[in-house]
Amino acid sequence: MSARTVVITGIGVVSALGVGKETFWKNVIAGQNGVHKIEQFDPSGCTSHIAAEVKDFNPEDFMDRKEVRRRDKNIQFAVGAAKLALQDSGLELANEDTSRIGVIIGSGIGGIHTFEVNHSTCVEKGPSRVSPFFIPMIISNMASGVVGIELGLKGVNYCVVSACATGTHALAAAADAIRAGRADVVFSGGTEAAVCEISVAGFCSLHALSTRNDEPEKASRPFDKERDGFVLGEGAAVLTLESLEHAQARNAHIYAILAGSGATCDAHHITAPDPEGKGAENAMRLAIADAGLKPEDIDYINAHGTSTPLGDPAEIKAIKNLFGEHAYKLAVSSTKSMLGHALGATGAIETAICALALQDGIIPPTINYEYPDPECDLDIVPNVARKQDIKTALNNSFGFGGQNAVVVLKKYEC
């Protein structure tokens, strides 16, 4: 392996299934469900009343109380996930050249909680009552910026914004920076805190969300014939990415190799996927080639699988078109069945899942699979996790605007 091989050495997660890698992974492989009735506001005026909310996160565990008040929830999540990733990696920043350590963390929507609150304040109490921290709390790059400030990291630092593909695009950008020699280590991923009234109302107006309000635990059902829309989630995942040479020099634990990435555009519609899945197919093809692999080398796909009537069959079609007969030998699961769709954070959360699946030889399930859909007839690992040694994993993320991002991970073998 060359010095430009990129490896994952730390995992930090804030999610509806727990805070921290251990709790999160335990609940994922147990097929736990993080979807419940929304608690952050009264959702009765919306058609969808459910979400996968983060319940066990205390921002004061990760930052000063004064700073908590000055940071939108998506920034708080990012700081928590980044500090967990740092701790998990065992990286001693005092011994590092921090100008060679970067941060690339994206958010699809940014500080929409703060926007909602301050807009109401402006209308009801006047412009002078808007928080002086309003702008730095809402802009999407501030998650990366604040993590850099909190950890004292002076290398490459920016954000990626590409809706539901954000977290995966961010990881690809971070890997590119390491491969090109512009950084030795990058803390990268995605963060989102969009469970608020204006956000939910907007997605409801698009008819994008599930309205299975009487059975929230069964609402997110990717590839199931009775799916009726996605369930909004929230949270963050940050991965410590570094060059293999750097990781080996400090004897770091390595979860997996981030071996390749691909990015395309459907050029089709602002919200609907290309029904033939061509953009998704091409993104997967590019990522596999970038990893130096062939389609038949892939063992597992963590699917975008949002539980929408249009999106799921388009993704399955893309997989069939690319993989041919091998598509029926793949394990293809959607962990959004448990975690909901955390928008800009979801690709990073799912890449963390792929890394843990490779390390532990456990493929997470697609829960809530009850009614087979003949259009989605691949092996979706229904309802129960599977113990299976896998060597390669692919993560799909497809965003509004037709923006597609895919990463390929390989098992690390000394």
**pLDDT tens-digit readout, 53-73:** 999 999 999 999 999 999 999
Give, as one character, the DSSP assignment of residue 273: P
> Across the chain, which distance is largest between two alpha carbons, in Å?
63
> Strand runs (DSSP E) across 124-266, as ranges?
157-158, 185-192, 235-243, 256-265
Q: State the pLDDT at residue 127.
A: 97
Ranges of residues in the chain with a pLDDT under 70 are: 1-3
Instruction: For helices 346-360 and 21-29, give the axis angle rounded to 10 degrees.
Output: 80
Q: Are 235 and 192 in contact (CB under 8 A)?
A: yes
Domains of the chain, CATH where assigned? 6-249 (3.40.47.10), 261-411 (3.40.47.10)
Residue with tokens 């006047």: 126
Amino acid 414: pLDDT: 77
CA 203, distance to chain mean position in Å, is 19
- With contact defined as beta carbons under 8 Å apart, do 257 and 298 qualify? no
pLDDT of 38: 98
Helices (H), 311-345: 311-323, 336-339
Contact 361, 387 (CB under 8 A): yes
Using CA atoms, how far residue 327 sits from 97, 264, 391, in Å, is: 45, 21, 16
CA 215, CA 251: separation in Å to the nearest integer? Answer: 48
Predicted local distance difference test score (pLDDT) of residue 80: 98
Query: What is the torsion angle, in degrees rounded to the nearest 10, for the CA atoms of residue 321, residue 325, residue 327 and residue 329?
Result: 180
Whether residue 403 contacts residue 270, with contact meaning beta carbons closer than 8 Å, is answered with no
- The pLDDT tens digits of the residues spanning 322-361 come to 999 999 999 999 999 999 999 999 999 999 999 999 999 9
Q: Which helix (H) or strand (E) holds 168?
A: helix 166-179
Across-strand partners of 398? 404
Spatial separation of the C-alpha atoms in residues 270 and 36, rounded to whole Å: 29
By DSSP bridging, strand 101-106 and strand 157-158 are parallel
DSSP 163: G
Report the sign of the C-alpha dihedral through residues 250, 102, 151, 241, in that order.
negative
Q: What is the per-residue pLDDT for 40?
A: 96
Q: What radius of gyration do the chain's Cα atoms show? A: 20
Q: Residue 329: what residue type?
A: K
Distance CA 223, CA 331 (A): 13
**Long-range pairs for 245-249 at CB < 8 Å and ≥24 separation?**
245/3, 246/184, 246/185, 247/7, 247/9
- The first and second tokens of residue 356, run together, are 């843990």
Active site residues: 164, 304, 341
**What does the pLDDT read at residue 366?**
98
In angstroms, the CA 147 to CA 154 distance is 11
pLDDT score of 225: 98
Helix or strand holding residue 394 (H, E): strand 392-399
Q: Where are the alpha helices (DSSP H) in 206-240?
A: none
